[in-house]
Amino acid sequence: MANILKDITNQLKVDEKSELFEQKIDVNKRTNSLFNNLDDIEDGLGQFNVKVFGVGGAGCNVIEHMIKSRVWPENVSLYALNTDLKALQRIKGLTNICLLGKKTLRGAGSGGDPSIGKISVDENRSDIRGVLEGTDILFIVAGLGKGTGSGASPEIARIAKELGILTVAIVNFPSVNAEGRSVYENALNSFDVLKAEVNSITRISNDKIINSNKDISFVKAFEQANIAVTNTVSDVVDMVGSASNMNLDFADIRNFFKSHATFMAGTFSVENNYTKDTLKEAIKKSTRDSFSDVNIKTENVKVILNLKINTDTPATINNDIRNVFKELTNTNALSLVPGVDQINIEGIKASYLMSASDQANQIEEDLVYEDESMEVSKVNDNNQSVNDMFKIDEDLNLDEYKSKPVNVTNTGGVKRETVHFDTEELIMDGDRFNSRDASKLITKAINSVMKPDIEPTDFTRKYS
């Protein structure tokens, strides 16, 4: 009997140990599952949803260029929105196309009127909202100054804002000389309206593109603008789209754009002969080639950097880059957030986002002295120069006007000032004379010595 009880006791002990062992295994399984939960990842987790809206003629041109420029990741979707049916029909290889104001405008465009561009969104507001739902970051690309880009872009940005979407605008700015004063003024006004609706904005200047190469063709100039916009979007996508030794993530990008209302983007590379001087020249060139007219000389600059290096890249690379940006931006308060990837390349390659401040909104000087004979090339809204409109005496001498006071209205349009004409520089109370007043003054001088058989033109009537 005692042996039987002993056997039962021993069996109970074995069963108890077995149960405890099984419980321990179960706990281990559950514990390990917390660190091995990558098997059943739902589609899209870890990716951010990017949409690019090209708005108006210039914006749709960018979308067309983007389609041809590269294969975009699955999480990036391109859209073309315009009021001009014929312009949309020219875009090949894109199914995401929206004719804004289809019933109201019937595909005829906005006629360069921002107010028409604004109301064109009303008809499609619910559709746009539906497309944007679930978007993490929206890029709005547009040309400012005409109707659809200027008027529709802020309305689309407002919809995105209501949905809490991170919204970044990349806009193309017109040349006051090539496209006229009224277009430029529209662009300035529209920029302020759009800036208030987006998280961050940058602008690419047609004048900077033209001035970078005086021999550049009309078509090539627009091509450069398309490339600049495409590169900016592409760089942001690539910054967070691939794993690297030191990652940038979507949170870095989101924080940057939410914290800085204005930015610029650029890329640079240094081949085998890496030195601090070659690095500096490469970064300086990148700021010029961005064609951005935002002001990088500002306080508390932040740089998001996506850097690709090789095994020979010196350990001081991040510090060197930071010091160059500090020098270029003229600030000691510069923070650098790097993403670094070591790959098999020669030299280094990098793309970056840099916080900036906007330039003062003013119409650029469009008065050019061609030579000492005072042939003046003043471009009006119809892109006609003074020299094309009327003949000027070759022996024109304006010395008498150097000391002769002439009353003109200043920029504010309220107070009248007495100015003295000078062939070297136009001065009003110690400040540079603005181009509108200069045009009036010079036209007065020209009219007084013009040949009597020349009839007044619309230009002379306008400025005299």
The pLDDT confidence band at residue 19, using thresholds 50, 70 and 90, is: low
The predicted model gives 302-311 an average pLDDT of: 89
**What are the CA-CA distances from residue 264 to residues 166, 200, 280 (Å)?**
17, 10, 17
CB 410 within 8 A of CB 435: no
Question: Which helix (H) or strand (E) segment is 368 a member of?
Answer: strand 367-369
DSSP 71: P
Residue 411 pLDDT exceeds 60: no
From the list 257, 190, 192, the residue with the least C-alpha distance to 56 is: 190
Q: How many whole angstroms separate alpha carbon 378 and alpha carbon 169?
A: 32
**Interval 35-64: pLDDT, tens:** 666 666 566 556 789 999 999 999 999 999
Beta pairing, strands 97-99 & 76-82:
parallel
**Interval 308-323: pLDDT, tens:** 888 888 888 999 999 9
The predicted model gives 166-184 an average pLDDT of: 89
* Burial environment of residue 123 by CB neighbours within 10 A (0 to 12, 13 to 18, 19 or more): middle
Q: How many whole angstroms separate alpha carbon 405 and alpha carbon 167?
A: 52
Percent of the chain past pLDDT 70, that is, above it, reads 66
Q: Which residues of 326-353 are buried (b: 16+ CB within 10 A; e: fewer)?
A: bebbeeeebebbbbbbeeeeebbbbbbb
**What are the CA-CA distances from residue 211 to residues 184, 247, 320 (Å)?**
17, 37, 30
Residue 262 pLDDT exceeds 70: yes
**What's the token pair of residue 323?**
């010091």
- Tracing tokens 């312009």 back to the chain, one arrives at 87
Residue 278 pLDDT exceeds 70: yes
Pick the residue with more confidence: 221 or 384? Answer: 221
pLDDT confidence of residue 413: 41
Q: How many whole angstroms separate alpha carbon 168 and alpha carbon 130?
A: 19
Question: Which of 128-142, 383-397, 438-452 shows the lowest per-residue confidence on average (mean pLDDT)?
Answer: 383-397
For the entire predicted model, the pTM comes to 0.70
Residue-wise DSSP of 165-231: -EEEEEEEEPPHHHH-HHHHHHHHHHHHHHHTTSSEEEEEEHHHHHHH-TT--HHHHHHHHHHHHHH
**What's the token pair of residue 3?**
């042996």
**Interval 360-384: pLDDT, tens:** 454 443 333 333 333 333 334 444 4
CB 428 within 8 A of CB 372: no
Pick the residue with more confidence: 30 or 151? Answer: 151
Q: Which residues contact 395 (CB under 8 A, 6 or more apart)?
A: none
Tell me the pLDDT of the chain averaged across its residues. Answer: 76
Q: How many whole angstroms separate alpha carbon 321 and alpha carbon 348?
A: 12
Q: Which residues contact 219 (CB under 8 A, 6 or more apart)?
A: none
The predicted model gives 133-154 an average pLDDT of: 96
pLDDT confidence of residue 217: 81
Helix (H, G, I), strand (E, B) or coil at 48: coil
Percent of the chain past pLDDT 90, that is, above it, reads 43
